[in-house]
A and B are shown apart, each in its own frame.
Chain A
């Protein structure tokens, strides 16, 4: 073997060791723990797939949490992606102040999810919140709500807070994607008489394909891992109405000392995310 062929592998060794110890090992260890009954303080007892059986066949909260994650994912794909694309289109045009507005829409993303959750919880507060005060002020007091106390609407109201916070990140990606479109193509389309709508659907949208893949993958992964904004707004309530897999995993692990069940939940989250991540990686590597 010549030196040139060996060197790259040697350079990879440190990264491989770090990756193995902080990513690969914990993942497999977590899967191993999910096959056990373990409080975290006593000896682990191997129980096979019992934790998964309980989750799938006996645990209503698990199904509520899974359904909420999927609802969150659909809301994300529908509203987060379209809103960020819309903003990117608006903020890609040439006009004075566009940099300022880019900053305005991106700013909430630099705030922590916990902080955003606290801000919105107060805005939704039934007694002192902005929304109920505003509705009362404009004479629509009959339309005041309990907002986060409404089990049917709470998840959607929390999602609005997440949308406010998160729209800036995909927006920046879309702006970058739009700026990467060669100007001569757009000019040719204009000369050929294509209108703005035709240009968007026939030129911009197809050329944003790679950006879309990145945005969709990151948003789907993010929607499976949603945690902080739920904890800081509703803490999974009322009556588990906004429970998601991540919050339920923490509850099982740290409130109930049920490490095995918590690990089983994280394994299920991992598998669901793999359904998205594996095709995404295959697609992106194939393209190159």
Chain B
């Protein structure tokens, strides 16, 4: 009898634990369905709520660790004015932010607000219905009069307004003024002049085009300018959404071929394939490299490295046409499960944060993409010029945001293979097409 009882107890315990585990698994499997259902309910519930009515609101806020400057202060200041609100800030490295967000999305535990890039990276949250579509909220709150059109465009993904625009980044060529002056070089205005500049710099024993292949997005910035040069604006835009084929496309093949010629000619640093983007300033600052494609954040980087910003100027890569610059957006996305009151409070907090940007320059460090609030710290001397060029020349979406992740990964590999000489431009174009097809098949 005792033996049976003991066996029964053990069996029951095991079954209970199995059921518990099973429940956990079931919630994981179906959690996403629940997530997509939830907004309707929570939205209905939230419709009766009004922000700031004293009801307790607890928000969680994830971003990059490097964005932590001033966050605690501005949160404390906001909470002082809204005692019913708590905001828990959490900083992550780039990779862990993506990983933690993905794990949270699986478990239906996404934070209330999270930092994200535009393009395919932010698009995945829209695609799977875990982020809040702000279209109605934006219409109701006149966001057309609040944010710059470019910032709203970059935050619009899969037909939804996917986030609260944080910043618009436009990339230009930073160049060392001293090297250009010493070699009597003018700012190049077309590809012929650009090549002359590059060759003159190389002949002087200086690396013309500073870049790194770890990760691949840095060296990609040169290739995409070549694609813009050969394809022109219209075809480039079509290629980014596969309205034009990559395989056998002359513009694509030429862009890869010229990129390979640049690598073979030694225009990039020695060992470019083993260099990290963070290493590049070690060549740029001492004048061992002359040019580097960067965005408006680079002014801040130069200053925080105690370098003289006056040594560096900017120009638009002379890719032809209107010399469009590449651009990408950053935004804050919201959990689809937020009630209306929570969403209103989350947006109110972000508004407050941006209003206080002058008090906390570390909060954004770049121009705020809000109309009438385009505050740029005076010491960032190149930033206004970059944005003027962006407005005048126009922009195209940077390749690693415009293309799907699988295609981006293939592109990074292909650029490595082209540097190594283990693939041809024609094969590279065909590989890009196949990567697109894999993406479409899996999508």
Seen from chain A, the residues whose Cβ lies within 8 Å of a Cβ on chain B are 1, 6, 9-10, 13, 16-17, 20-21, 25, 29, 37, 39-44, 121, 124-128, 146-149, 151, 154, 234-235, 237-240, 251, 253-259
Contact = CB atoms under 8 A, between A and B. Distances in A.
Nearest to B282: A128
A218 to B, nearest CB: 27
A251 B409 contact: yes
Contacts of B127: 41-42
A6 B25 contact: no
A94 B122 CA distance: 63
B246 to A, nearest CB: 19
Contacts of A151: 273, 420, 422
A254 B282 contact: no
Interface stretch (B46-54, B98-106, B153-161, B230-238): B98-106
Interface of B: 2-3, 6, 10, 13-14, 17-18, 20-21, 25, 29, 32-33, 95, 98-99, 102-103, 105-106, 124-125, 127-130, 213-216, 269-276, 279, 282-283, 288, 405-406, 409, 413, 416-417, 419-420, 422, 442
Given A25-B21, A146-B271, A240 B215 contact: no
Nearest to B272: A149
A138 B276 CA distance: 27
A13 B10 contact: yes
Given A13-B13, A149-B272, A1 B6 contact: yes
Most chain B beta-carbon neighbours within 10 Å: one of A6, A238, A258: A238
A127 B271 contact: yes
B228 to A, nearest CB: 24
Contacts of A148: 271, 273-274
15 contacts: A20-B18, A39-B124, A40-B103, A40-B105, A41-B127, A42-B32, A43-B29, A121-B274, A146-B273, A149-B274, A240-B413, A253-B102, A254-B98, A255-B98, A256-B409
A1 B128 contact: no
A41 B128 contact: yes
B270 A126 contact: yes
Contact of A255 (B106, B213, B409): B409
A36 to B, nearest CB: 10
Contacts of B2: 1, 6
B32 A146 contact: no
Given A251-B409, A254-B102, A125 B32 contact: no
Nearest to A21: B21
B128 A39 contact: yes
Contacts of A147: 271, 274
Contacts of A234: 214, 274
A239 B420 contact: yes
Contacts of B25: 25, 29
Nearest to A157: B274
A17 B18 CA distance: 9
A104 B202 CA distance: 45
Contact of B215 (A6, A17, A43, A235): A235
Closest 4 CB pairs of A and B: A126-B271, A41-B128, A1-B3, A149-B274
Contacts of B269: 126-127
A41 B106 contact: yes
B100 to A, nearest CB: 10
Most chain B beta-carbon neighbours within 10 Å: one of A21, A128, A237: A237
Most chain B beta-carbon neighbours within 10 Å: one of A10, A41, A253, A255: A41
B274 A238 contact: yes
B335 to A, nearest CB: 13
A6 B9 CA distance: 12
Contact of B214 (A6, A39, A40, A237): A237
A20 B274 contact: no
Nearest to A16: B14
A125 B10 CA distance: 59
Most chain A beta-carbon neighbours within 10 Å: one of B103, B215, B273, B406: B273
A103 B150 CA distance: 59
B405 A257 contact: yes
B10 A238 contact: no
Contacts of B3: 1, 6
A6 B271 contact: no
Contacts of B405: 255-257
B124 A257 contact: yes
A37 B21 CA distance: 22
Contact of B128 (A13, A42, A149): A42
B138 to A, nearest CB: 24
A8 B213 CA distance: 58
Given A17-B14, A124-B274, 10 more contacts: A20-B21, A40-B102, A41-B129, A126-B269, A127-B283, A127-B288, A234-B274, A240-B413, A253-B102, A259-B106
Nearest to B99: A254
Contacts of A9: 6, 10
A146 B270 contact: yes
Nearest to A254: B99
A6 B13 CA distance: 15
Contacts of A43: 29, 32-33
A39 to B, nearest CB: 6
A272 B276 CA distance: 33
A16 to B, nearest CB: 8
Contact of A237 (B106, B273, B279, B406): B273
